[in-house]
Amino acid sequence: MITKEGVVFEKGPEGSVSILRVPAKINLWLEVIGKRENGYHDISSLMLPISVFDRLTVAVRPGDGGIAITCDTPEIPADERNLAWRAADLYVKASGKKAGVDIGIEKRIPWGAGLGGGSSDAAGVLVALNSFFENAIPSGELETVALTLGADVPFFLASRPALATGVGEKLELAKSSPDYPLLLIKPPVFVATGWVYQSLKLTKQGAQIKLAGFEEKPYDFELLVDNDLESVTVPRYPVIAAIKQWLIGRGALTASMSGSGPTVFGIFPTDQAAAEAAQIARKEWSDCWVHAARVMGRKNRSRRRAR
């Protein structure tokens, strides 16, 4: 067994198998500050990795054997529509390596949740393959490859607290971040990201929330927690606002929607408080996905050995 960059490899005669856990994320704030001619939007968002993980198995076969993918969630496509499949295909082509790739995904990050599960899976595949091929694609180029898959994918290459600007590809790492205790609640609705951004009315001339302010006063939630996309999602899906209010009523210090939704997170003063609220939420929001978690801040490693 060989460990590289937090990825566990088990080598055998038929090639290599790597097993890794890849995290979800929340957006502590998400400001949309402009729209480009190509339709993409400029944002300013603090992205924080959290302790909800998909489990990936990435097997490398010798020769040009194509790409195969399996997933334990029927709703997730197991073909070229899957971002992890596309990541493997793109890596093989960009690196010039002759290899077949088999990908297995055990989903624990709910899909279509605003938590970045698909992007994290894709980044995990890139990390696993680049580790196996001994950095055949240098890190700077790997970020470029990741960006072609999606604006969130570069963040998940390292999964460290970072301010994302541009369309999300420009990352400035935070010096530190509290390990906020969280309660996540995802209602059973689907929010189309494209529709959200197309429906958004731009009102800001620039970013109002600064990374320096977060680093200096990370618990000043009144100034730090905001999501411009709620102006679109809440009128269509009032359950989002209802969950936010419920979390505050159950002791959350603040609550907000992550990404384009519909998942809402509440930050609690302690892990115990979050866990107790989760027990109640599973009864009162029985049709929702409910999960207590933590922000993986400070010096935490994002990719951990699978158990």
Question: Residues with catalytic annotation?
Answer: 25, 152
Query: To 5 degrees, how large is the angle CA 260–CA 262–CA 263?
Result: 105
Tell me the CA distances in angstroms from 307 to 20, 42, 72, 280, one per residue in order: 9, 39, 17, 29
- C-alpha torsion sign, points 65, 71, 77, 83: negative
As a whole number of angstroms, the distance between CA 166 and CA 43 comes to: 6
